[in-house]
């Protein structure tokens, strides 16, 4: 993999090389922020007057005088457990969730306002940002790249979007209050409220995100050390996250007392992790679809995330409502999809596509051919490619690849990059470094494999940095082998039968059958990830 990717495919990275230390200690390259020529050309529609003048948000962000991220100003995000977050990488709110807070109240609440104010203050102590955005802060220190830097790289070069961000910030500074309607059509809605129905069993995916993963786990493919104990509480939590929460007040577990107060019986573990069953009052009693529809004139895009969104029938209700009120034509729909199915019952995504302004199909692709078929078990690479091509036939569809760089995928991810170069109908390629479960991180691979991979990622410094990192302490790589081999066993005799060492033969020499392993807690075990591993 030596060729540079074309610029349109690297909007969110790579290409970051000139690092400077941010206010929060990360290495950040802002060279490509606010860098598109047309934004500085008064003869274009994209021109922004005084864009990088002293004192502007753009200048302060680019020079890293502030730790700025546009996401808390524009994104409405709810995690699959029903908790609100600033974005998919942010820490969950401990107080605000689908049971007690409306979309508008979350966006206008103290918690996010604190994040926003700190992001505009060059002298901030970042008390709230350090809690909320710890993943981006850590990623910038480790890899010099984060969700924040990727978003800023893309959004700072989108003049229409940026003008509205500036408008929102100025209104907030003038009034002392943030108002989500101040920017006009700028909001991105990402609500994981339609459950987690999924048709694949991806080896690195958290079980909460896939009903098939949960079924396979129930039937024995689990590892307590990697995923923690599969206890009654864990199962109850999975039952909760799998629920469709669009109208949680109508859920089968809901009770209404004699005073008309709505309660839901919850495993308290959802909130406090002590596993005690508890009745929680439900005060957010308007459907999330209707709350979203009410914001439609301010919505730029809606991202549907699963499970696998294209098979989640419920989300089509939202699409139908947006078409009904004639707003679909103004809104972009983004899918984070495995792109293996395009229909759900009577719904067919190809019927909906022409109704919307734009549709962005972001396919979870981090391997090619057998590699992805092994890592994302039950998928078919040919089907993904066919569906990607079908989507590309529509003028209003972008097809992007977005992969997770993990223990297995890093051994072949460069093939995805090469495949995209050879198939230019893919509009963008992006990736994130796997964070949880820690066993499945890139840095836990054997040292020799990591070393051999580094030259393959020339020009991709964040992946190289991840490969140079030492393994996590006190994690046993053999647990990963055990878990993967258990899955191989489970799929034996099915059409998805595959074997770890056929797909990743370079791993085989590091495997020690259980009967030959030294007892735990020996010095030998502590060296499992060192060069003297074998
Ligand atoms: S800094 Fe990172 S975690 Fe915080 S809102 Fe931005 S993208 Fe999300």
Same domain for 218 and 125: no
Q: Is 5 left (phi over 0), alpha (psi -120 to 50) or beta?
A: beta
Verify that 407 and 437 share a domain, yes or no: yes
Residues 297 and 275 in one domain: no
Q: Is 26 touching ligand 1 by the criterion CB < 6 Å?
A: no
Angle (CA) 407 408 411, round 5°:
105
Q: Is position 107 within any domain?
A: yes
For residue 239, name the pLDDT band (cuts at 50, 70, 90).
confident
Confidence class of residue 532 from pLDDT cuts 50, 70 and 90?
A: very low
What number is the average pLDDT over the span 468-491? Answer: 95
Judge if 351 and 326 occupy the same domain.
yes
Task: Give, in order, the Cα–Cα distances in Å from 44 to each of 33, 36, 154, 167.
Answer: 19, 12, 19, 20
- Is residue 66 lining ligand 1, measured as CB closer than 6 Å? no
Task: Identify the domain boundary among 184, 202, 223.
Answer: 184
Q: Is 342 a member of any domain?
A: yes
Q: Is residue 85 part of a domain?
A: no
Same domain, 291 and 280: no
Residue 523 pLDDT class (50, 70, 90 cuts) = very low
Taking the alpha carbons of 273, 275, 281, 282 in that order, is the dihedral positive or negative?
positive
| Gap from CA of 82 to ligand 1 centroid (Å) | 19
Give the closest residue to 234 by CA, choosing from 202, 205, 264, 269.
269
Count H helices, E strands: the chain? Answer: 22, 18
In a domain, 215, yes or no: yes
Ligand 1 site, residue 432, Cβ cutoff 6 A: no
pLDDT of residue 530: 29
Do 160 and 224 sit in the same domain of this protein? no
Domain final position from 285, 312, 339: 285
Q: With a 6 A CB cut-off, is 61 part of the ligand 1 pocket?
A: no
What CATH number is associated with residue 336? 3.20.20
Residues 277 and 412 grouped into a single domain: no
The reply to whether ligand 1 has any atom less than 6 angstroms from the CB of 116 is no
83 belongs to a structural domain: no
Please state, in angstroms and rounded to a whole number, the distance separating the CA atoms of residues 387 and 381: 10
pLDDT single digits (tens) 24-76: 989 999 999 999 989 999 999 999 999 999 999 999 999 999 999 999 999 99
pTM (two decimals) = 0.87
Q: Distance, CA 154 to ligand 1 centroid (Å)?
A: 14
Domain extent at residue 254: 248-285
Q: 380 and 479: one domain?
A: yes
- Nearest ligand 1 atom, CA 148: 7
> What is the band of 524 on the pLDDT scale with cuts at 50, 70, 90?
very low
Ligand 1 atom, smallest distance to 69 CA: 6
Distance, CA of 33 to CA of 150 (rounded, Å): 10
Average pLDDT taken over every residue of the chain? 90
Task: Report which of residues 519 and 329 the model is more confident about.
Answer: 329
Separation CA 421–CA 459 (nearest Å): 15
* 310 and 320 inside one domain: yes
User: Tens of pLDDT along 399-412?
Assistant: 999 999 999 999 99
Domain boundary among 167, 184, 201: 184
- Taking phi over 0 as left and psi of -120 to 50 as alpha, with beta for the rest, 217 belongs to alpha
72 CB within 6 A, ligand 1: yes
Say whether pLDDT at 456 is over 80.
yes
Q: Which of 147-161, 163-177, 223-237, 398-412 has the lowest mean pLDDT?
A: 223-237
Q: Where are the alpha helices (DSSP H) in 183-222?
A: 211-218
DSSP state of 6: P
Flag whether pLDDT at 525 surpasses 60: no
Domain contains 84: no
In ligand 1, the atom with minimum distance to the C-alpha of 72 is 5
Between CA 426 and CA 392 the distance in angstroms is 8
pLDDT at 267: 66
User: Are 101 and 239 in a shared domain?
Assistant: no
Residues 174 and 303 grouped into a single domain: no
Please identify, by atom number, the ligand 1 atom nearest to the C-alpha of residue 86.
5
CB atoms within 10 A of CB 168: 21
Tell me the C-alpha distance between 163 and 153, whole Å.
15
Ligand 1 proximity of 150 Cβ (cutoff 6 Å): no
Residue 385 maps to a domain: yes
Query: Is 82 domain-assigned?
Result: no
With beta carbons less than 8 A apart as the criterion, state whether 355 and 328 touch.
yes
Q: What is the pLDDT of residue 278?
A: 75
What domain count does the chain have? Answer: 3
Q: Is 373 found in the same domain as 492?
A: yes
């Amino acid at each position: 993999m030596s060729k540079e990717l074309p610029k349109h495919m690297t909007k969110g990275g790579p290409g970051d090389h000139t690092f400077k230390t941010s206010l929060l200690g990360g290495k950040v390259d802002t060279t490509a922020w606010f860098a598109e020529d047309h934004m500085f050309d008064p003869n274009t529609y994209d021109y922004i007057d005084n864009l990088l003048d002293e004192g502007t948000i753009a200048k302060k962000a680019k020079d890293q005088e502030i730790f700025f991220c546009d996401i808390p100003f524009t994104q409405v995000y709810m995690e699959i457990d029903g908790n609100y977050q600033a974005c998919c990488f942010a820490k969950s709110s401990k107080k605000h969730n689908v049971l007690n807070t409306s979309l508008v109240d979350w966006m206008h609440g103290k918690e996010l306002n604190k994040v926003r104010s700190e992001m505009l203050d060059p002298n901030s102590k970042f008390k709230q940002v350090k809690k909320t955005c710890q993943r981006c802060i850590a990623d910038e220190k480790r890899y010099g790249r984060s969700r924040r830097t990727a978003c800023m790289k893309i959004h700072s070069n989108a003049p229409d979007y940026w003008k509205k961000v500036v408008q929102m910030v100025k209104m907030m500074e003038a009034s002392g209050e943030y108002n989500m309607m101040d920017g006009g059509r700028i909001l991105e809605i990402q609500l994981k409220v339609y459950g987690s129905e999924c048709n694949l069993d991806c080896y690195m995916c958290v079980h909460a995100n896939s009903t098939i993963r949960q079924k396979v786990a129930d039937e024995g493919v689990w590892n307590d050390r990697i995923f923690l104990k599969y206890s009654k509480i864990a199962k109850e939590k999975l039952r909760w996250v799998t629920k469709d929460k669009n109208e949680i007040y109508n859920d089968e577990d809901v009770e209404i007392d004699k005073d008309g107060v709505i309660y839901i019986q919850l495993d308290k573990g959802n909130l406090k992790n002590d596993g005690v069953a508890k009745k929680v009052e439900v005060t957010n009693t308007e459907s999330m679809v209707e709350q979203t529809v009410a914001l439609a004139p301010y919505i730029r895009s809606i991202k549907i995330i699963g499970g696998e969104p294209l098979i989640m029938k419920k989300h089509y209700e939202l699409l139908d409502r947006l078409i009904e009120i004639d707003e679909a034509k103004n809104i972009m729909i983004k899918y984070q999809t495995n792109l293996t199915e395009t229909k759900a019952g009577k719904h067919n995504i190809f019927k909906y596509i022409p109704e919307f302004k734009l549709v962005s199909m972001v396919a979870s692709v981090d391997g090619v051919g057998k590699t992805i078929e092994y890592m994302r078990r039950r998928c078919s690479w040919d089907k993904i490619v066919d569906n990607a091509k079908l989507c590309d036939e529509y003028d209003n569809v972008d097809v992007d690849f977005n992969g997770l760089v993990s223990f297995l995928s890093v051994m072949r991810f460069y093939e995805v990059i090469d495949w995209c170069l050879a198939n230019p109908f893919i509009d963008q390629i992006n990736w994130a470094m796997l964070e949880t479960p820690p066993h499945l991180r890139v840095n836990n691979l054997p040292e020799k494999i990591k070393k051999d991979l580094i030259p393959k990622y020339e020009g991709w410094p964040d992946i190289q940095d991840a490969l140079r990192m030492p393994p996590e302490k006190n994690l046993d790589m053999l647990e990963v082998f055990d878990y993967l081999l258990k899955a191989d066993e489970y799929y034996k005799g099915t059409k998805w039968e595959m074997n770890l060492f056929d797909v990743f033969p370079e791993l085989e020499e590091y495997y020690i059958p259980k009967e030959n392993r030294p007892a735990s807690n020996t010095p030998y075990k502590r060296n499992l990830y060192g060069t003297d591993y074998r």
